[in-house]
Structure formats: C-alpha cells, structure tokens
C-alpha cells in the first residue's frame, strides 16, 4: 500500500472542449479517487477506481495530446506531470524546432544539434545577454548562466568565486560548452576595459582560447559516438581583477585515458594529435621525421576515414601562441613519430 497526496494543474486540451482541471486527493493503492474536470467551462466530478499508476498514466497522456505546444516549455519545471516521458517529449519537440537549450530550474539542459547553427554564439548574441538587465527572461542559452555567474562575482561586497559544472555523456557537448563559456568571458571582460589594458587582455584572451585546440589535440580522440571525444577531464579557472578584467587563467587536467596510446577498441581511433601530424605533415617534415609517405601503423586504425589535414596547422599555430616555439614543437612531434614507429 503506497500513499500519495498531490495537487496538480494541467491545461492540456483533450477534444471537444474537455480539459484537465485540478486533482486534490489523498490516494491509497486500489482506493477510489475523485477527479475534477472542466467540460466546456463547467466543473464536473467523477468517481473512478484507479491506482496511482493509472492516474499518472492518464495525466501523461493528457499532457502529451497537444504536441504542437510541447516545444514552448522553456523550463522543465513547468512540465506537469514531471516524468521521464514528458521531459523527453518536450526536449525532443524543442530539438525538432531547432531549440537546443532548456531550463530545468537552476540547471540548463543542452542538446547537441550535431550541425552548425548560424549566429547561435555570435558576438551580437553575447552582447544581447550581457547588456540585458534581466538575461534570465531571454531564451534559454548557455550565456544566461555565464552572465549570472559573471554578475554574481561583481555583485557582492567582496568578490565571490563562481563555478559552472559541465557534465553529460559522450557527445553531449562537454567539449563545446567550455569553449563558448571561455569565449564569452574573454569577450565581456575585455569590453569593460580601458583602451590601455586592451592589448594585454587580448593577449591573455588569445592564450586562453588557444589552449582549447592544444588540449583537444593531445587529449581528444574519435569514438563510436563522437568524432571529437574528450578522453580527460579539465578544471578551468579564469581569473578576474576587481575591475572585472580578465588577467589570467589556469587549467588542470586529470584522468587522461593513457591506455588509448597502446590499445584501442574496434572502430575507434588514436589521440587526435597522433593522427593529425600523420595526415597534415608537410613533405619536409616527413623527411625530417623519417615518416613514410603512406604511413600505416597498427596503432592508427580506420585509415579509410577522412581526417581534416588543417587540424595539424591549427594545433601548431595554437602552440606558438602558448609560447611553445617551433623548435620545441619539432622535438615533440619527433618523439611522437618515434613512439608510433615501434
């Protein structure tokens, strides 16, 4: 015997003007329940012999009848009843409408679009969320949480550290979201600076952002579900002064999947940098590293899959901005080539 006491409101429409109104009952399994409905504006009551699960199933069906309205729920706490089915249906409806962010109270749910969405992270959108007095009233976006944390730092008598946790399964967008957050903070922190500080802030901003392709090159790999899957965790700390200017950053990494270097499961790949320098190395670099033109190594499976050769150039350029000279890079890549040859 399980007891349940609840009061719920639901405006989903059935047909012929029938609406679910309110339910206020204390129900034991197998006992009668009183349901109150509105039929064409008039309240009617009906006695029924249902279990708690029967009532919940009826509420779920009633909620899902008006499918055209499901994408309008921008906060999952407004869904009634809150079940796995209703939440997933709302997220699917919003995804189908090209809406990829949804609030869940103080948490933001992001669904990976797996495609390029123009202007979703543009400078204009950043400015819109930064200058709005009430950014939480705008459409759900990762910039809302970014802006709230930014304001919480400066909104106290003494600055208070803020933390944003990005979690999810493989392919959910954990690599992409910190990129957006770092770009947002680098942009808004620079916008509040004087011209004298702009050059220094731009250098810091560039280093902060250029750390991403380097970490991804040496810590990401292709898996069955994700072409750019992070095989490590990272803790990124952006440092602001009392004027809210970006003055530094630190990054700590942990749990690197080192076993991938020597052993990969079927249909997955080695770390990105090992693949990219094989694909993107110039003829001169191949000769210098004694790399065969058609390199085939047992550690580099799935050679039939195309890899963008410009990833190697992006990685080398980012390493330069981080202070890793061309000479140091050659030494790093030479060690890499020697290790893969055995």
The answer to whether the annotation marks 171 as part of a ligand binding site is: yes
Tokens 């029924």 — which residue? 48
The number of residues making up the chain comes to: 342
Buried b vs exposed e over 298-317: b needs ≥16 C-beta within 10 Å? ebbbeeeeebeeebbebbbe
Torsion angle defined by CA atoms of residues 272, 275, 279 and 284, in that order, rounded to the nearest 10 degrees: 100
The answer to whether the annotation marks 175 as part of a ligand binding site is: yes
The answer to whether the annotation marks 174 as part of a ligand binding site is: yes
Tokens 């796995």 — which residue? 84
Q: What is the separation of C-alpha 13 from the centre of its chain, rounded to a whole number of angstroms?
A: 34
The answer to whether the annotation marks 172 as part of a ligand binding site is: yes
Tokens representing residue 87 in the block: 């939440």
What are the angstrom distances between the C-alpha of 127 and each of 130, 150, 192?
Answer: 5, 14, 12
Cis peptide before 194 (omega within 30 of 0): no
* Beta-bridge partner residues of 44: 37
DSSP annotation of 1 reads -
Across the chain, the runs of DSSP E, i.e. the strands, are 3-9, 18-20, 22-28, 32-39, 42-49, 101-104, 107-110, 220-221, 229-230, 233-240, 246-254
Cα distance between residue 341 and residue 334, in whole Å = 11
Extract the annotated binding site: 168-175
Extract the annotated binding site for ATP: 168-175
């Amino acid at each position: 015997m399980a007891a349940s006491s609840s009061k719920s409101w639901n405006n989903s429409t059935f047909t012929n003007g029938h609406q679910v109104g309110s339910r206020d009952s204390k129900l034991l399994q197998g006992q009668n329940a009183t349901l109150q409905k509105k039929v064409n504006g008039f309240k009617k009551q009906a006695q029924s012999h249902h279990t708690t699960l029967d009532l919940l199933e009826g509420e779920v069906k009633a909620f899902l009848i008006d499918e055209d309205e499901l994408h309008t729920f921008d906060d999952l706490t407004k869904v009634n009843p809150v079940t796995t089915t209703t939440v997933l249906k709302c997220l699917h409806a919003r995804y189908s409408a090209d809406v990829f962010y949804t609030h869940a109270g103080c948490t933001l749910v992001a669904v990976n679009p797996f495609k390029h969405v123009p202007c979703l992270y543009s400078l204009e959108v950043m400015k819109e969320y930064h200058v709005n007095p009430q950014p939480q009233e705008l459409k759900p976006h990762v910039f809302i949480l970014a802006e709230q944390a930014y304001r919480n730092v400066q909104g106290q008598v003494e600055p208070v550290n803020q933390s944003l946790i990005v979690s999810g399964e493989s392919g959910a967008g954990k690599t992409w979201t910190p990129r957006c957050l770092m770009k947002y903070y680098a942009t808004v922190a620079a916008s509040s600076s004087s011209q004298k500080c702009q050059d220094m802030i731009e250098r810091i901003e560039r280093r902060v952002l250029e750390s991403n392709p380097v970490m991804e090159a040496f810590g990401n790999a292709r898996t069955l579900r994700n072409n750019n899957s992070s095989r490590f965790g990272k803790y990124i700390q952006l440092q602001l002064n009392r004027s809210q200017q970006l003055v530094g950053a630190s990054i700590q990494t942990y749990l690197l999947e080192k076993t991938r270097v020597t052993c990969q499961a079927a249909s997955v790949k080695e770390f990105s940098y090992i693949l990219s320098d094989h694909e993107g190395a110039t003829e001169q670099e191949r000769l210098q590293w004694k790399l065969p033109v058609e390199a085939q190594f047992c550690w580099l499976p799935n050679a039939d899959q195309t890899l963008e050769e410009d990833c190697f150039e992006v990685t080398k350029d980012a390493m330069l901005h981080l202070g890793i000279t061309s000479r140091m890079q050659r030494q790093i890549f030479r060690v890499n080539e020697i290790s893969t040859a055995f």
